[in-house]
């Protein structure tokens, strides 16, 4: 439910580009993200800020940013999670072109101009993205943490790996209207699910140099709560393959091997958390998807003996 909303000037012409920034307790980094947008060489844009029920001073920071730049439109909602906040922002967006930027990410000054030039040169495209360069919390550069990017029809590649980041992607409004928004049931990995779903309808353009900065915080560097995030990924890929269009678009053998690997990854994380009964369920699925995959077989004895050794008799949750 909407608690407080910005008051945009309805007499202003709609901008070409709307940048949505969902934020939860992001007062420490939000000014950097907005500053990077204000410094764009292409300036026909608005910034839609969504405060997702923050408990720090995020809302006050948003109001200050709006007071200093008319292009900023702040909105405040009760906490609903990142995908909900993103969808709320996309619905408020007025531009024909859109982007979703993390509150702790930033754009290089030329990103938007480069993307708009690419659309002008390739009018058949509805999506253009670039890699992101990783930086530390203090803004210093990092090595690694990047994947090879690709252009064109990407469903198969995105099923096997996520290399598209929301924050470095510009897409036309028709993408949102055709494919719908982010999956609001996914608190982790909703971007991967969105771009995978979009890939069944649209091709991707690529500017193959990092035009955005991805900030790695302590939580992202240590990969906290691995089991939870891997559960979401395994479930999402299964749903895409069996319930959406994956079965008709992807070769069965490679797809099943991918599903086996992600289910094994969940089981491994659960074993590390001593949730052995649930780990056994994921191992069983991994073995069904790819019987010759050796890793689940090697982990099975640990998952079976763990309860006895640790006195853990918790009932597994439903997989």
CATH of the domain at 254: 1.25.40
Residue 74 sits in the same domain as residue 178: yes
Over residues 288-314, the mean pLDDT reads 85
Residue 33 sits in the same domain as residue 174: yes
Residue 306 sits in the same domain as residue 158: no
Angle in degrees, CA 224, 225, 226, rounded to 5: 95
* CATH value at residue 153: 3.90.550.10
Integer Cα distance of 130 and 148 in angstroms: 10
Q: Which of 222, 249, 279 is a domain's end point?
A: 222
Query: Would you place residue 245 in the very low, low, confident or very high pLDDT band (cuts 50, 70, 90)?
Result: confident
| Residue 318 domain-assigned (yes or no) | no
Residue 205 sits in the same domain as residue 264: no
Does residue 218 register a pLDDT over 50? yes
| Residue 167 domain-assigned (yes or no) | yes
Contacts by residues 292-301 (CB-CB < 8 Å, ≥ 24 positions apart)? 293/257, 293/260, 293/261, 293/264, 295/264, 296/260, 296/263, 296/264, 296/267, 299/264, 299/267, 299/268, 299/271
Instruction: Return the number of other C-beta atoms located less than 10 Å from residue 202's C-beta.
Output: 19
What's the confidence (pLDDT) of residue 78?
A: 97
- Residue 7: how many CA atoms within 13 Å on its side-chain side? 1
> Tokens for 6?
């910005």
Residue 6 sits in the same domain as residue 121: yes
Residue 94 sits in the same domain as residue 110: yes
User: What mean pLDDT, rounded, does the chain reach?
Assistant: 91
| Residue 61 domain-assigned (yes or no) | yes
What lies within 8 Å, CB to CB, of 44 at 6+ separation is 15, 16, 17
Integer Cα distance of 87 and 230 in angstroms: 23
What is the domain range of residue 67? 2-222
Q: What percent of the chain has pLDDT over 90?
A: 81
What's the confidence (pLDDT) of residue 215?
A: 87
Integer Cα distance of 215 and 225 in angstroms: 19
Q: Measured on CA atoms in the order 41, 47, 53, 59, is the torsion positive or negative?
A: positive
Domain count, the chain: 2
What's the confidence (pLDDT) of residue 318?
A: 57
Q: Which of 206, 222, 238 is a domain's end point?
A: 222
The answer to whether 97 and 17 are in contact (CB under 8 A) is yes
Does residue 187 register a pLDDT over 80? yes
Does residue 263 register a pLDDT over 70? yes
> Tokens for 239?
């749903």
| Residue 195 domain-assigned (yes or no) | yes
As a whole number of Å, the CA-based R_g of the chain is 21
| Residue 315 domain-assigned (yes or no) | no
Query: Would you place residue 222 in the very low, low, confident or very high pLDDT band (cuts 50, 70, 90)?
Result: very low
pLDDT digits (tens, 9 = 90+) for 51-87: 999 999 999 999 999 999 999 999 999 999 999 999 9
pLDDT digits (tens, 9 = 90+) for 141-181: 887 667 899 999 999 999 999 999 999 999 999 999 999 99
Over residues 259-277, the mean pLDDT reads 96
Integer Cα distance of 281 and 239 in angstroms: 17
Q: Which of 168, 202, 222 is a domain's end point?
A: 222
Determine the length of the chain.
319
DSSP letter string over 221-286?
Answer: HHT-SHHHHHHHHHHHHHHHHHHSSHHHHS-HHHHHHHHHHHHHHHHHHHHHTT-HHHHHHHHHHH
Residue 255 sits in the same domain as residue 137: no
């Amino acid at each position: 439910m909407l608690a407080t909303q910005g008051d945009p000037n309805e007499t202003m012409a709609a901008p070409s580009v709307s940048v949505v920034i969902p934020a939860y307790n992001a007062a420490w980094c939000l000014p950097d993200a907005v500053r990077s947008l204000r410094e764009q060489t292409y300036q026909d844009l608005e910034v839609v800020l969504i405060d997702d029920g923050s408990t720090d001073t995020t809302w006050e920071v948003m109001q200050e940013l709006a007071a200093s730049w008319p292009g900023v439109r702040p909105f405040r909602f009760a906490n609903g999670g990142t995908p909900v906040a993103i969808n709320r922002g996309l619905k408020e967006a007025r531009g024909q072109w859109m982007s979703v930027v993390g509150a702790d990410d930033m754009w290089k000054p030329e990103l938007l101009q480069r993307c708009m030039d690419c659309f002008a040169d390739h009018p058949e495209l509805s999506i253009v993205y670039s890699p992101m360069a990783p930086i530390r919390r203090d803004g210093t550069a990092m090595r690694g943490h990047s994947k090879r990017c690709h252009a064109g029809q990407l469903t198969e590649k995105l099923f096997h790996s996520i290399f598209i980041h929301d924050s470095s992607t510009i897409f036309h409004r028709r993408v949102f209207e055709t494919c719908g928004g982010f999956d609001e049931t996914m608190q982790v990995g909703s971007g991967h699910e969105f771009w995978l779903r979009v890939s069944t309808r649209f091709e991707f353009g690529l500017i193959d140099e990092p035009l955005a900065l991805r900030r790695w915080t302590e939580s992202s560097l240590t990969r906290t709560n691995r089991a939870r995030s891997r559960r979401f990924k395994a479930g999402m890929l299964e749903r895409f393959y069996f319930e959406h269009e994956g079965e008709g678009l992807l070769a069965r053998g490679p797809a099943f091997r991918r599903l086996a690997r992600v289910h094994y990854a969940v089981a491994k994380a659960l074993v590390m958390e001593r949730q052995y009964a649930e780990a056994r369920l994921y191992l069983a699925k991994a073995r069904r998807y790819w019987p010759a995959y050796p890793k689940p077989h090697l982990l099975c004895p640990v998952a079976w003996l763990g309860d006895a050794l640790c006195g853990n008799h918790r009932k597994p949750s439903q997989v």
